[in-house]
Amino acid sequence: MNSFGRIFRISLYGESHGTEIGVIIDGCPPGINLTEKDFIKDIERRKSGIVGTTKRTESDKPIIKSGVYKNKTTGAPIMISFKNENQKSEDYEFDGFFRPGHADFTANKKYKGFNDYRGGGHFSGRLSLPVVAAGIVAKKIIPEINITAKIEEIGGQKNYIKLIEKTIKEKDSIGGIISCTVKNIPAGLGEPFFNSLESVISAGLFSIPGIKAVEFGAGINLSKMKGSEFNDVFIDTSGKTLTNNAGGINGGISNGNDIFFKVHIRPSSSIGKTLKTYNFKTNKMQNFSVKGRHDACFALRLPPVVEAVTAIVIADFWMGG
């Protein structure tokens, strides 16, 4: 299922080393101003090129193919594509190794060897680019709601520049934590049980390659708390609470306080450092290292992706999804 959302719905396509990737956005209301310039800021934030990120540089220029007329959304499906310009397939040809930590092995099993494995194919983190594009459209549907994701820690550190430089030198990679805060969200969005805000937001977040843990509000600390510490007592009729251990969500529904969550991102699986792993041709354990261009810390690129997923979910609920 390449689609996500109920009323505001996105559908992805494309591979890392194909000609293009993109997204169809369905259910966007008509009359919203939208030009290709609107995408620049978040796409730049996601871009590689900064320290700790891959040297694969793409222009990442969005091309709006449908659903926009005279710079306004029409209500019809919006298709946005991005050309792949800088792929180097020779870096990735299969040579007996399924790259550890990657989807190469599982994709091979699921798709019986027919998957386009070049650069991870459809599993590539590059597919988060059209997600960011869809997120920009979503943000425009809910202009009063403010969604901000930022790096909390890299490798367990708040000040991590030196750690990243060291990691690069060691031809290794490193994980990190991103937090996200949603301000000015009205009470009443979300549903009990299967469409709880936590359920739908987490489903979106765990679709981003590399995210392996999600915690709402006080999150992992809640399992150590007492009820008398946890309970966010109300302090006025708006529903404002003294603390926000619940992360702005009770019973799956926003309570009007800030929504707050953190995601934990694993290190990149592609590292230049040598590992021992299984060679599926020779049937032997063997030294292995990944050549090519990779992120030492792709967590650095994910804040706009986390925001995008969050915006998509909230816009969908906002529209009745």
Exposure string over 179-198, b if 16+ CB within 10 A, otherwise e: bbbbeebeeebbeeeebbbb
- Of 65 and 150, the one with the shorter C-beta distance to a copy of itself is 65
- Of 30 and 44, the one with the shorter C-beta distance to a copy of itself is 30
Exposure string over 283-299, b if 16+ CB within 10 A, otherwise e: eeeeebebeebbbbbbb
Instruction: Name the minimum Å distance from CB 50 to a copy of itself.
Output: 18
- Of 88 and 212, the one with the shorter C-beta distance to a copy of itself is 212
**Spatial CA neighbour of 101 closest among 269, 240, 288, 236:** 269
Measured in degrees and rounded to the nearest 5, phi and psi for residue 37 equal: -65, -30
Instruction: Name the minimum Å distance from CB 253 to a copy of itself.
Output: 4
- Of 7 and 44, the one with the shorter C-beta distance to a copy of itself is 7
CB 319 within 8 A of CB 141: yes
Instruction: Name the minimum Å distance from CB 85 to a copy of itself.
Output: 15
Instruction: Name the minimum Å distance from CB 191 to a copy of itself.
Output: 6
Distance between CA 61 and CA 53 in Å, rounded? 19
Instruction: Name the minimum Å distance from CB 258 to a copy of itself.
Output: 14
The sign of the torsion formed by the CA atoms of 118, 119, 125, 126 equals: negative
- Of 73 and 181, the one with the shorter C-beta distance to a copy of itself is 73
- Of 44 and 176, the one with the shorter C-beta distance to a copy of itself is 176
**Spatial CA neighbour of 17 closest among 93, 96, 69:** 93
Residue 291's SS3 state is coil
Instruction: Name the minimum Å distance from CB 21 to a copy of itself.
Output: 7
- Of 135 and 267, the one with the shorter C-beta distance to a copy of itself is 267
Tokens of 28: 């966007």
Write the CB contacts of 178 (distance below 8 Å, at least 6 apart in sequence): 149, 150, 151, 152, 262, 263, 265, 299, 302, 303, 306
- Of 56 and 122, the one with the shorter C-beta distance to a copy of itself is 122
The angle at the Cα of 22, spanning 66 to 106, to the nearest 5 degrees, equals 150
Instruction: Name the minimum Å distance from CB 56 to a copy of itself.
Output: 17
Instruction: Name the minimum Å distance from CB 129 to a copy of itself.
Output: 13
**Spatial CA neighbour of 178 closest among 301, 297, 264:** 264
Tokens of 26: 């369905």
